[in-house]
Amino acid sequence: MQVFLQGLLFGVVYIAPIGMQNLFVVSTAIEQPLQRALRVALIVIFFDASLSLACFYGIGKLLQATPWLEMAVLLVGSLLVFYIGWGLLRAKEEAMGTMNADFSYKTAIITAFSVAWLNPQAIIDGSVLLAAFRVSIPMELAHWFIIGVLIASVVWFIGLTSLISKFKHLMQPRVLLWINRVCGAVIILYGVKLLATFVTKI
């Protein structure tokens, strides 16, 4: 139980800081009906959980050992992140909360995959952190730790989506528009960071 609680606490602390996944979830919760936003949250949880499992079992080492693969992920990731951020920056006020016509689960899946799996920093940092915990825990208890991490992902993203959806009616359309634009600007900054890392490695 103690190991499980350690994993749960680590999962929350690791996911909670503002990052591309949280920005995507918040933006979707603002723009879409609750049921649709919850489905998107489940998609995000799937990719976040799969990334955590991969990091826990050592995919970060693969990137570090394969320079060309790391470079490819950096370049493709930075371009996709730019695209996601630019889409948020171009959001129109009248579309806020009524984006049913423009919504696409295909786009949501691609975005959720991009903000998780095409973020080399998250993969490497996650690998280092999860690997550090893994070696500090008896092998027979390691699965309880990662289960705690996965449950933290479910609780966090479902809770965040529900909270934002519940209170978004208190915000004016212009406020929602600017939240989207701020999210877009922050995501573009992530893209700049990834592209800068790619350039420095050339």
Residues whose CB falls within 8 Å of the CB of residue 167, separated by 6 or more in sequence, listed in order: none
Report the pLDDT value the prediction gives residue 136, as an integer from 0 to 100. Answer: 62
Report the pLDDT value the prediction gives residue 95, as an integer from 0 to 100. Answer: 45
Of residues 130, 113, 118, the one with CA closest to residue 198? 118
Q: Is residue 153 very low, low, confident or very high in pLDDT (cuts 50, 70, 90)?
A: very high
Report the pLDDT value the prediction gives residue 195, as an integer from 0 to 100. Answer: 82
Q: What is the DSSP letter of 137?
A: S
Q: Is residue 96 very low, low, confident or very high in pLDDT (cuts 50, 70, 90)?
A: very low
Q: What sign for the dihedral angle of Cα 108, 109, 112, 118?
A: negative
DSSP codes, 82-113 = HHHHHHHHT--GGGTT--TTT--HHHHHHHHH
Name, of 90-104, 127-141, 188-202, the range with top average pLDDT.
Answer: 188-202
Across 33-56, average pLDDT: 92
Residue 167 pLDDT > 70 = yes
Count the neighbouring beta carbons within 10 Å of the beta carbon of residue 180: 24
The pTM (predicted TM-score) of the whole model is 0.74
Instruction: Name the average pLDDT for the chain.
Output: 79
Residue 179 pLDDT > 50 = yes
